[in-house]
Structure 1
Amino acid sequence: MTPTQSSLPTIAITMGDPSGVGPEIIMKALAQDSTRQLCNALVIGDAERLRLAGRLAGIDLEVASLDDPAQADFAAPAVQCIDLKLVPADLPFGKVSPVAGEAAFRFIEKAVEIASAGIAQAICTAPLSKEALHAAGHKYPGHTELLAELTGTPEVSMMLVSPKLRVIHVTTHIGLIDAIAKIEPGLVGRVIARGHAVLTKAGIANPKIGVCAINPHAGENGLFGRGEEAEKITPAVEACQAKGWDVRGPLPADTLFFLAGRGDYDMVVAMYHDQGHGPIKVLGLESGVNITVGLPVIRTSVDHGTAFDIAGTGVADERSLIEALRQAVGLAPRPVAV
């Protein structure tokens, strides 16, 4: 390994659901010299599935089938893949399958093992299918909750990042009524604190954080809702302000996202899934990145799903994966050069 390569972080890239676009976007991303120069990419998945996806996408790139990370040769012009050999050759693209769900679970499990051992400095995940995951008997709402359990982390937060906006979520994959019931000052405060910690570590000395209300117009002094803002959000904001942090809210979400989009805020705290996801996705799926905040390992992800409707056709867009790798590299500790 050259000195340049030895100084790069190793990123464990999970292949995601093998029936989705994960294999294809990985091959497309790693076929680009600029992407390979970002990091030492170690794919956790199935070598033959990657080869098939590469052919379907018109990518002329070899895939090295590895049993152990120590076998990886990052100087070689080939995708380095820890090959778990869990994907049948005849597994169709674009269909929910418990076989695919089980494989996706095992890819993540192996990536956590590798990252926890310090072999990889971060994990970057391609999309999985929640339905396939459940069909395989793994009852998790998504990557975030799965990674939290595998790492023994009691509570994590989802942060979405685009070039113009950062959004951290108080609740994610639960129904709206359940989300409102779950929101309480302690949870809101912990989410703000996790976001504040990420931003300060990224070099923003005193980040300006805007906190969304639940109701339209932030409840309009009690005219809308049942006093949720005063009961569930305001105490957390005041506690953060008492620490000297620049935290403001609860603010009307529509106005806050406009202000944040023009640069007035470093981060927005969204109360529920669609409140935060909507603005990010309007800015473009190809630029959005999902970061799990609070894990003992760095984890980033594409901000899109398995796209079963186009999986296997060779047309999936790899730009969100490339951006997720960039974010992982930016957050990852650097190994000592040898």
Structure 2
Amino acid sequence: MPERTIQRVAVIGGGANEEHDVSLASAAAVVRAVRALGLTAVPLTIDRRGGWQVDDGPVAAAEAVHRLASCDVAFPMLHGVDGEDGAAAGLLRLTGVPFVGSPVRAGALGMDKWVTKLVAEELGIRTAPGVLVDGRVDAGDLHLEPPFVVKPTTGGSSNGVSVVREAGQLQAAIESARSSGGAALLEAFVAGREVDIALFRDRDGALRAGSTLEIAVAEGAVFDREQKYDGSASFTLPARITAEEHDAIDAAARTLYTALGCAGIARFDFFVTAEGVVLNEVNTAPGFTEQSQVPRMYTAVGLDYPRLVAALLDAAIAA
């Protein structure tokens, strides 16, 4: 079979969710990289109401699919619900266009933080003690002691995430989480350093890791939306961890990447504690501007942003 060639790349951004603007920024960065590689970028945007847009205005869904089908490969940069949860992958699979990123199953599993916890624990990867809540709860009924971290099961960008230090704060935190996506996940607060690692499977089938990245977070706080996007976040690459801690993080990430069925980039967030590493969450469609965590991780190991985009495109058409 002749090797596929790439000339036209569909880049999809936006989305009808809270991460619309973040997704637009990621998509714009990919468009820049695609053009820097000498390829034709075909931008497509999903607006806040779920409609399709192109440079000259709104188009019907059928026209959007026609434009997708005219491309050699797609690079969806849809963060959040109806995007990274497998929705975009399902659409692209049905159009027959090869695409960068995880398939439906991995996107759906990775998006659901409760399900990810269940999978990880079954694989022997430690997570914080937690409970799923879909309504009112009495703190006295929980087999956990404050402080808690309360988060939406399907949210992203730290939307709806709270640290609860007193029982009286719990219900408001649960409602905030539920308003940002699905049920609420309550977890014991983990005191440790936040360390991330990213993986992608290249065109030859090898899993390639970026540098570990450590996030500077004030003691007792969480890495919130403001820190993620206002430029105040402080990262250390590689993370200040021992060789044993690095190996534990790397092994856990590779195990999860394979078990979930990931493709393209996935980022795995951990806490490094005195008792070992603890999985925080998995992101199968992480932020992807030139200054986002994942591109920084790969730049630190010698793979700059355009070459990372090229490697992901090559892997997509080789799959």
Question: Which category describes the TM-score, using the shorter chain as reference length?
Answer: 0.3 to 0.5
Bigger RCO of structures 1 and 2 (CA < 8 A, at least 6 apart): 1
Q: Compute the TM-score of the two structures, normalised by the length of structure 1.
A: 0.31
Structure ID, larger Rg: 1
The structure where strand makes up a greater share of residues is 2
Of Structure 1 and Structure 2, which has the larger fraction of its residues in helix?
Answer: 1
